[in-house]
Amino acid sequence: MIVGILKELDSEPRVAATPGTVKDMIKCGLTVHVESNAGIKSFISDEQYKESGAIIIQSSEELLKNIDIALSVMAPSQNHISMLKPNSIIISFCQTTRELDFVRAIKDVPLTGFSMHLIPRTTLAQKMDALSSQANIAGYKAVLIAASQLGIYMPLLMTAAGTIRPAKVLILGAGVAGLQAIATAKRLGAQVEAFDVRPVVKEQVESLGAKFIEVDSDTDEGVGEGGYAKETSEEYKNRQQELIHEHISKSDIVITTALIPGKPAPLLIPKTMVDSMKPGSVIMDLAAENGGNCELTKKDQVVEYNKIIIDGTSNLPGTMSVHASELYSKNIAAFLTYMVKDGKINLDFDDEIISGAVYAHDGNIMHEPTQSTLNK
């Protein structure tokens, strides 16, 4: 079977395979074709792919018409989808409840579609968890970007001219991105607080040296399936807003990471809260792609409002394309090779990882939330 590595759209600097993962796929009996210059923005040359055993294909048209499995970071264009052979397999990131036109195109060809967004959060699937590997980068880079835009030091400094207090950083959402943001801000010497609707993450937050702020509640109200956050009651949301408002007005940097799978990002910072922040403060909204946690966020724009910076950059992992590609390619190769037996794909839909990640097969939508969204 032939695996094709697509060159991403101009806005996406990552790539779905590295020379190392090409070798891993070849060891499993697969043939690997790479579109020319696919890795150029991650500083991987065609020659490096050739040395790892890949065959370089000069155009996307030529690549797509001959392959059995397409690997990419982001969902390819519908034009590219139409060039694939019926019953081919495509594996990429895809928010299937939001990218509905793409899902329809996959269904109509028909193709088998797997989304790296849907990889189950289980121990066995841990090495395939691309969302976590990319969120880790986003949390790290968010702190660096915020610090570079701040007009003050991050750490406590004792100088001959006096003592400089440490910057105050507030992290909203203590998932993978949030925890990495906490760790990075602490390494830079900041005073860090974190909030999450899931009380179970308190120990992790405190182990990194941050203060956990929480809404008094008798239940784990914010804990959803797989440990992800879920929507909470109106009463809880009101208490949450009061708590965040109290802390945000004292913060120099606010990093928001709150997401609910399959739904728009929850609004945590309305305009009235931004009005209470100090001039020169910075908000990094890591949920910008899904609508943002801040009311004033604009996707892929840096907004200045009342001398407060609100950064809605949606692809922070792409700003570290070398390591982002390295990690993503390992995730996607681990998932692909998990399904390969003797050089052929074994689509065992009784397997919880395979059935969890598939959203389309043989002209059918296999992911219930996606089907429900399409039916609306």
**Distance in angstroms (rounded) separating the CA atoms of residues 83 and 66:** 9
Between vectors from CA 341 to CA 338 and to CA 345, what angle results, nearest 5°? 75
User: Which of 126, 276, 301, 372 is labelled catalytic?
Assistant: 126
C-beta of residue 252 within 8 angstroms of C-beta of residue 151: no
Active site residue 228: yes
- Can 129 be counted among the known catalytic residues? yes
Active-site residue, selected from the candidate residues 48, 98, 108, 121: 121
**Residue 126 among the catalytic residues:** yes
Q: Which two tokens stand for residue 270?
A: 């309305």
Helix-helix angle 321-339:130-149, to 10 degrees: 170
**Peptide linkage before 317 cis (omega within 30 of 0):** no
Structure tokens at 104: 């329809």
Count of beta carbons in the 10 Å neighbourhood of residue 19: 19
- Residue from 24, 129, 196, 252 carrying the catalytic annotation: 129
What are 210's two structure tokens?
């941050």
- Rounded Cα distance between 51 and 21, Å, is 12
Catalytic residue among 77, 132, 149, 217: 132
Residue 186 CB neighbour total at 10 angstroms: 18
3-state SS, one letter per residue, for 298-352:
CCCCEEEECCEEEECCCCCHHHHHHHHHHHHHHHHHHHHHHHEECCEECCCCCCH
Q: Is 121 a catalytic residue?
A: yes
Q: How far is CA 227 from CA 170, 175, 217, 360, in A?
A: 22, 9, 18, 25
Catalytic position from the list 153, 228, 305, 338:
228
Instruction: Tell me the catalytic residues.
Output: 121, 126, 129, 132, 228
